[in-house]
Structure 1
Amino acid sequence: MSSSAEHATLPSGHTSSHCTSATDAARLTDILRSTVLPTTEDTYLFRRVSSEAPADLAGYDAEIERLQSLLGCLQSERELLSTYTERCRSALSPIRRLLTELLTEIFDWCAPSCAESIENEDTADMELERLAKTHLLQFSAVCYRWHEIAMGSPKLWSTIVTDADLWNDTDIRTEHLLRRLELSLERGANSPLVMELGLPHEDDELQSSILKLVTPHATRWKDIYLWIDPSSVELLAHMRGNLPRLESLSLSASTVDPYPPGPAVFDLAPRLTRLTLTGWPLRLPEIPWGQLLDVKFMNNEARDITCGLDILSLLQKGAEYRMDIDCVCHALTYLRT
């Protein structure tokens, strides 16, 4: 049997001392599958291959390593070109031409519905989302400009909705939740504050901690909804005379228990024209009734109708007044003339 070993040229230009043919490979397979011993010619070939192959294999390995390195460089260069191309397209994107004011409005419109008001169906996950303003954090991760707009626009951080009764249903520590609330207040700067705040029913310490964060911003209060124990209104006493922007106030009682007389809080609010009282037990809070233009009184007990009628006598001419007793069966609307 004649040897078919030949010289082969590697891609790098080096020369391999042999190249195994299909015939040689088939012959070797037959020998290994049988008890036939190699011939003298076979033995010579196998010994020469065994002796010379390591050098050839080393050459192949070196060439493969060189090609892999070249491939890595090509892939890196391609990635750089692809990224640069995408950035060029981004630089020409129409959205980059939008005014900052318009983008701010778009970001505001994209707020989830749970960030607009408290609902009975709200969950702890929804509370965490609106407290952290997750939609703004997502916008801020898009690009540098969006980050600057999302983080640096006080208007976007000046609508605060939180129901602290849900905080105990989360795995996050209370101090971290308070910090999220504090961040929103800080980022809102001096922008008018729209706030819907559900204070905890049976956690006086948490209620006090929340009020300590929000009351220093009293000068920003514009449209405020407080779900609060009437007896806790005294915690707001230091804000009296410090509500220059307050235009709309909603007070919803978290309990129907009678409460002792407390200090006035909202009677010195020069811009207050809209008031809603929900479930407020018996005694009315001190309010500048004579300047109100739109008043709603909603209670569940028929005995509160006297209190509701007392309000009517306090309003100025032309004020619109809605009294809803039992919230379902009776709804009376008055226009004081």
Structure 2
Amino acid sequence: MDSQMTSICSECGATKIANAEPSDTIPATPETLAGYQLLAASNEPPNSAERAFLQAVASKSAVRLTCLDEEISRLKDRLGQLEAERSQLAGYHSQNVAILSPLRRMPHEILTEIFLWTLPPAASNPDVNESPWVLGQISSRWRAISLSTPSLWSAACLDYGGEPPIPQMIEAQVERAMVLKIHFLGSDAVESVPNTQREMFKTLSEHSGRWEELWIQLTPTLTPQLDELLRGRLPSLRKIYVGFEDPDIELALDSVKCFHTAPALVNATVLMSPKPILLPAHRLTSYRAACPWGDHERVLKMATNLVEAHIAIAFDNEPWPGLNDPPIDINLHRLQRLYVEHVEILNYLRAPLLDELAVDIASREDVLTPLKAFVVRSSCALRRFCMQGAPDADTTPEILNEYPSICSFTVVFTRQRRSKTELANALDAHLTMLTATCDRVAVSPHLTELCLGMTCTFPIDYSLFLEMLESRRGPNFSLQTTTFLAHANQMPEPVTRSRLDALGRGGLDVRLRGGSDSKREIALWLFEMPWLWKR
């Protein structure tokens, strides 16, 4: 049987295989692969015969290399020609496709609506690389549409907490807008800033007749300007958000009065004001404030048109009215949504149309007594109930069982002088309480919506969450939507997500929210609590 032998081609130096008899002897010369490898792996010089042989092979391989180099060069030249031709054709093709683009035929109105959706949140100074400024850099048509759409330029944002805004950009926005939504975040942190921002605020106040919204963070140097520049000059203002850079600072004035005469003002948020902000209470439909109870009382007694109210207490060193004192009965006949920081506030209110209530609850606080008194006094039917703070798992079922009209329930856990271990235990206790078992009557089987959330990180037992959801599936339960709001690093592992997805395929709308948006979503669930408004 023939065997194979590997050798070096004498023509070009390539390796070749030849047949040989098993008995053949292969001398260790460069003509064999073994001999060649022996020379290549050492520094031994070849003998004269080997040198002559290798020189001949090297000469022939050099000729072949030259041929290959010439062929490669030729192919490279051809490839360059093809690439140049392709680049030119691709540009021509792209130009033709662009000309045929449906975007060119898109109606002005649709393009304008798309532009409005590109606007960034009104939280920072204008940037030429963001909408609406960047829209004018795309094409002459886009520039014409953007410049002729006043609503694109309405939000004029000035934040003096960092790099100050460019005055020319603000002036351009004011010129292009029809109505204005002013976001003015003042700051006295930098010495050169106060004079600059006072001048800019004075410039903006010359257009106050077009102001529709005003979000303003006041400083001691800005506050005295308000009444001087704005009183009697806010005919279109409908919404205000007023906060202070340093709520603890003493101001030289007794109160801010410019908003009291704004004839269109219906929505007011006042955050941690060290001095009263006088408001046209009889016109307000939305009221959010963190101030002493006495200031709340004065507004609420006149606010007969309120639809929603958010009542937080701040700067209040006076004692609360006692239950044995003369009763304070504030009638809010149109109120539908209410948040109270202290459940005792319910003792002084009457709201017959209320159907959404959010309360801040401290651990072991008696919630049921003032809640019962309020519901009986108001004769209202609560549909949605939200708790935030450190609610007790024994109190929650009492509330839910007491009011079967509640079909949407939210509980959000916050620190409030409780450790993370205590909060984790409280969450577990709520999940266990809401879990339906065969040996006890289920709590509120008619709940259609359930939201759980936390504003701080602590261990979450998702197995209890899953067990609770699975137990509330079936013909005897009405749960349709559940939302879990947590931090990004607290999201469940893949196995748990898979089981949650299975519940989703079974008809339950399961929503997991984590990351930077979770706190904002919690604020929305709790009716945008005032202290969660951060600019």
TM-score bracket, normalised by the shorter chain, equals 0.5 to 0.7
CA positional deviation for 1:194: 0.9
Q: Equivalent residue for 2:402?
A: none
| 8 A Cα contact 1:250 1:277, kept in partner | yes
Match of 1:195 in 2: 182
Q: Summarize the Cα distance change of 1:305–1:49 in structure 2 as closer, same or farther, 3 Å threshold.
A: closer
The TM-score normalised by the length of structure 2 is 0.41
Separation in structure 2 between the aligned mates of residue 299 and residue 23 of structure 1, nearest angstrom: 92
Is 1:75 aligned to 2:83, yes or no?
A: yes
Indicate the structure with greater helix content. Answer: 1
Residues 1:227 and 2:217 are matched in the alignment = yes
| Aligned equivalent of 2:412 | none
1:76-225 equivalence runs, <5 A:
76-111=84-119, 115-116=121-122, 131-132=126-127, 135-136=130-131, 140=135, 143-144=138-139, 148=143, 152=147, 154-161=150-157, 164-165=160-161, 167=162, 174=163, 177-179=164-166, 183-191=169-177, 192-200=179-187, 205-218=192-205, 219=207, 220-225=210-215
Mapped partners of 1:290, 1:325: distance in 2: 17
Distance 1:319 1:135 in 2: 39
Determine whether 1:276 maps to 2:276: no
Q: In 1, Cα distance between the equivalents of 2:55 and 2:286? A: 106
Offset, 1:261: 5.3
Change (3 A) 1:83 1:209: same
1:90, distance to aligned residue in structure 2 (A): 3.6
Taking a change above 3 Å as real, the CA distance of residues 21 and 284 of structure 1, as seen in their structure-2 partners, is: closer
User: Shift of the alpha carbon at 1:178?
Assistant: 2.1
Q: Is the 8 A contact 1:159 1:195 kept in 2?
A: yes
Distance 1:307 1:202 in 2: 34
1:35-56 CA distances to partner (integer Å, 9 max, x unpaired)? 884659x83x655565676566
Q: 1:137 to 1:190 in 2, by over 3 A?
A: closer
SS of the aligned residue for 1:246 comes to coil
Identity in percent: 16
1:71 deviates by 0.8
**Cα distance, 1:99–1:299 mapped onto 2, change above 3 Å:** same
Partner SS state of residue 272, structure 1: coil
CA deviations on 1:11-68 (whole Å, 9 max, x unpaired) are xxxxxxxx5565599727455336884659x83x655565676566445433322321
Cα–Cα, structure 1 residues 201 and 292, in superposed 2: closer, same or farther, change >3 Å?
farther
Length-normalised TM-score, structure 1: 0.60
Specify the alignment match of 2:318 in structure 1. Answer: none
CA distances 1:226-272 after superposition (whole Å, capped 9, x unpaired): 23247733234663479466322425242264532589756776x63
Q: Which amino acid aligns with 2:31?
A: R
C-alpha RMSD of matched pairs (Å): 4.8
Contact 1:258-1:281 within 8 A present in 2 as well: yes
Structure 2, unaligned runs of 5 or more: 1-8, 18-28, 314-339, 352-535
The answer on whether the counterparts of 2:108 and 2:145 sit within 8 Å (CA) in structure 1 is: no
SS at structure 2 position matched to 1:27: coil
How far apart are 1:216 and its partner, in Å? 1.6
Whether contact under 8 Å (1:140, 1:147) holds in the other structure is yes
Map Cα deviations across residues 174-207 of structure 1 (whole Å, 9 max, x no partner): 2xx422x752552453312112333237557534
**How many residues end up aligned between the 2 structures?**
286
Please tell me whether residue 61 in structure 1 is matched to residue 69 in structure 2.
yes
User: Does the 8 A contact of 1:159 with 1:193 survive in 2?
Assistant: yes
Which residue number in structure 2 is paired with residue 250 of structure 1? 240
- 2:253 is the counterpart of 1:260: yes
